[in-house]
Amino acid sequence: MAKRKKVEPEIKAEATAKAEISAKIIRQRKHSITEVIPPDVTRARASAWLDILSPITEWAGLKGDALRYQRQQLRIQQDEALDRLAEIVRRKMRSRDVSTPLPPKIVVPALEAASLESPSSPLIEWWANLLVSGAAGTEIRPYLINLMKAIGPQEVECLNKIWTGLSSKKDYISGDFNLPLRAAFKLKRWLEVELVKIKGRTFTSDDYLTTFLGIFEKLTKRSEKAGVPARMELSQERSTADRGHRLSFSCYSKLMDNAIPIEVCLALKLLEEHEQTFEPDFRANDITIPNEFERTIGLRIIVPSNLGLEFLSVCDPAR
């Protein structure tokens, strides 16, 4: 009886060849995947900005490898953005002492988020102001970093205009008072001054609209300059309005044209809006208005919330 030939070596050789081919494919796939991920995401080169920023953090005193180790823990995207941030921080800290080194819970997410910005973005300075405020002793809530991540250049421009006006009016933001009430009160007082100027007038419909819309334009501009975007409105009586619809006529601050940035800030609760109606003292000034118009005036104002005031005081670009 003839013996059967052994075929095991051929089977093993074929299996080995397939294994090698599979291994090559796997290695090629792994290689292609790792090349897609920028190396700067997880491990970036050591940069000068870390040496500049380390004195205001809990990394102060670390040298050489220890400092580089902290750098490697960060998921940095653009060193150029942090180079600019570090220069701003160094300039602003020249006249200040570091009273509170920033803990990793603040500095790490702040630097990672700031590195996502364009080096020319106005947000870089706001990130620098946040770090400087914390290092100089202001309490920095971690949530403020989340708010910084959520806004863009348009929101910064909007908030900057509001804060520039408010911070120049110490009676708006100093002391224990309600900012919306104070802002509305000032607008009403300004209107009273304007009413004195037209004391004794009897208005036709056209004159009433022309005169009061002119007053509203003047007052809303003044309010915006003080950091409080406002809208003032007068309306027809419902009974005389066409088809039962009440016609209204208003003037509003130019900043309100930036509807989306304002809506973003309202959604983040950095800003809040307040509406009310009030009746000017026409009788005391002997002013007669047309019967087809309501005697009340509508007022809408937008002001920073308490959270917004804290956020803006920390990121104040004037620091």
The pLDDT tens digits for 155-167 are: 999 999 999 998 8
Question: Per-residue pLDDT tens for 184-196?
Answer: 999 999 999 999 9
CA distance 70 to 108: 9
Question: Per-residue pLDDT tens for 32-91?
Answer: 322 322 334 333 444 555 555 655 565 444 444 554 555 555 555 567 888 898 889 888
The predicted structure's pLDDT at residue 71: 56
Q: What is the mean pLDDT of the chain?
A: 79
% of the chain at pLDDT higher than 90: 48
Q: Which residue has the tokens 């205001």?
A: 56
Token pair recorded at residue 302: 């937008």
- Range of weakest confidence among 10-19, 133-142, 263-272: 10-19
- Range of weakest confidence among 10-24, 60-74, 131-145, 177-191: 10-24
Average pLDDT over residues 143-168: 93
What DSSP line would sit under 290-316, residue for residue?
A: -TTEEEEEEEEEEEE-HHHHHHHHHH-
The residues, any chain, with a CB within 8 Å of residue 225's CB and separated by 6 or more, are: 165
Dihedral of CA atoms 127, 129, 135, 139 in degrees, nearest 10, equals -90
Residues 132-162: b if buried by 16+ CB within 10 A, e if exposed: bbbbbeeebeeebbebbeebeeebbebbbbb
* pTM of the predicted model as reported, rounded to 2 decimal places: 0.75
The predicted structure's pLDDT at residue 81: 86
Residue 22, burial from CB neighbour count under 10 angstroms (0-12, 13-18, 19+): exposed
What is the CA 37 to chain-centroid distance, rounded? Answer: 30
Per the DSSP assignment, residues forming a β-bridge with 300 are: 231, 275
List alpha helices for the chain, DSSP H: 8-36, 39-42, 48-53, 64-72, 79-92, 104-114, 123-135, 142-150, 153-167, 170-173, 179-197, 205-225, 259-267, 306-315
% of the chain at pLDDT higher than 70: 69
> Is residue 31 predicted with pLDDT exceeding 80?
no
CA atoms within 13 A on the CB side of 126: 27
> Is residue 169 predicted with pLDDT exceeding 80?
no
The predicted structure's pLDDT at residue 242: 54
The predicted structure's pLDDT at residue 86: 86
